[in-house]
Amino acid sequence: MRHPPTPSAAKCLPERLPLEGADVRYRADTYSPSRADALFDALHREIPWEQHRLRLFGREIPAPRLSCWIGDAGAAYTYSRVRFEPRAWTPALASLREDLAGRFGLRLNSVLANLYRDERDSMGWHNDGEPELGAEPVIASLSFGAERRFRFRSRAMKRVSLAIPLAHGSVLVMQGATQRLYQHDLPKSAAPCGARINLTFRWIY
Ligand SMILES: [Mn+2]
C-alpha cells in the first residue's frame, strides 16, 4: 500500500485507441482461446459471487450483474456509497495479477470482478473516479466469455465517442486522463448471449 504503481512502460502496453485526450489501450488476443476458456471456468468457480445492491434515486435495487471485490488487506473500496472490504485472492486472480505485472509492468493491488450472466446484465454510465484510485487511475480490464459492447462518452459532451466489442481473452487498459474526461458503460445486448466475466484490476491508495 505504501508504494504507488510503477508508471507503465508504454512499449509493453497494447496499441492506443483513438479517444482524444484519453489513454486507452486494447489487445483482443492477449490470452489464447484455450487459455481464456480455462480462465473463465476457474474464475467462475473460484470467485464468491455476490449480488450487490445499488442506491439509485433514493431506492435500493439489486445490481444487474454479480460482483466481488478482491484485494490486498487494507484495499477497501467504496462504490455506490457502500464500503467493501476486500476478499482474498483466488489462485486464478493471483496468477493474472502476476501476469499483468510481467506482461505490461502494471502493479495492481485489487480487482473488481463482475459476472454478466446473460444479455440482460449490464453496467450503467459511470467513471471510476473514487478518490482512493488517485488522480489518474490505471485500470486493467480483462474479459472472458461472451463478447459484449463497451462504450465511452465524453463527460462534457455526453455523446458516445467510441464503442468496441471486448473479446474473450482481451485486455483493455485505461489510464492518464481517461476517467476524468470520459464515462464508460456496458449496455444490455439486443442479441441473446452467454455469460461474461470482467476483471478490472486497480491500485487503491
Ligand atoms: Mn468502470
* CA of 23 relative to ligand 1 center, distance in Å: 15
2: left (phi over 0), alpha (psi -120 to 50) or beta: alpha
Percent of the chain exceeding pLDDT 70 equals: 94
Q: What is the dihedral of CA 107, 155, 123, 205, to 10 degrees?
A: 30
Q: What integer is the mean pLDDT of 73-92?
A: 86
pTM above 0.75, yes or no: yes
Ligand 1 centroid to Cα of residue 184, in Å, is 6
Backbone dihedral angles phi then psi of residue 83, each to the nearest 5 degrees: -90, 130
Amino acid 76: pLDDT:
82
Listed residue (139, 98, 120, 103) closest to 12, CA to CA:
103
205 pLDDT band, cuts 50/70/90, is: confident
Taking the centre of ligand 1 as the mean of its atom positions, its distance from the CA of residue 72, in whole angstroms, is 20
Kindly tell me the burial class for residue 103, based on how many C-beta atoms sit within 10 Å of its own C-beta (0-12, 13-18, 19 or more).
Answer: middle
Joined together, the cell numbers standing for residue 126 give 459511470
CATH number of 19-202: 2.60.120.590
CA-wise closest residue to 121 among 85, 148, 159? 148
CA of residue 101 to ligand 1 center, whole Å = 21
Tell me the pairing of strands 110-116 and 23-27: unpaired
Q: What spacing in Å lies between the alpha carbon of 42 and ligand 1's midpoint?
A: 23
Q: How confident is the model at residue 3 (pLDDT cuts 50, 70, 90)?
A: low
Between the CA of 141 and the centroid of ligand 1 the distance, in Å, is: 9
Distance 34 CA to ligand 1 centre (A): 27
Rounded Cα distance, 4 and 15, in Å = 24
**Domain boundaries, given as residue ranges, for the chain:** 19-202
pLDDT, residue 55, reads 83
pLDDT at 44 over 90: yes
CB neighbours of residue 88 within 10 Å: 11
Tell me how far apart the alpha carbons of residues 121 and 117 are, in angstroms, rounded to a whole number. 6
Rounded to the nearest angstrom, the distance between the alpha carbon of 154 and the centre of ligand 1 is: 14
- How far apart are the CA of 131 and the centre of ligand 1, in A? 14
Query: Residue 117 is placed in which grid cell?
Result: 450472466
Q: pLDDT per residue over 157-178, tens digit each?
A: 888 999 999 999 999 999 999 9
Enumerate the H helices of the chain as residue ranges: 33-46, 91-104, 178-181
| For residues 189-193, average pLDDT | 97
CA distance 86 to 110: 8
Per the DSSP assignment, residues forming a β-bridge with 82 are: 79
For the segment 139-151, what is each residue's pLDDT rounded down to a tens digit? 999 999 999 999 9
Average pLDDT, the chain: 91
- Going from the Cα of 128 to the center of ligand 1, the distance in angstroms, rounded, reads 5
More confident of the two residues 132 and 188: 188
Residue 1 is predicted with a pLDDT of 44
Q: Phi and psi for 132 in degrees, rounded to 5?
A: -70, -10
- What's the gap in Å between 89 CA and the centre of ligand 1? 20
Distance 145 CA to ligand 1 centre (A): 18
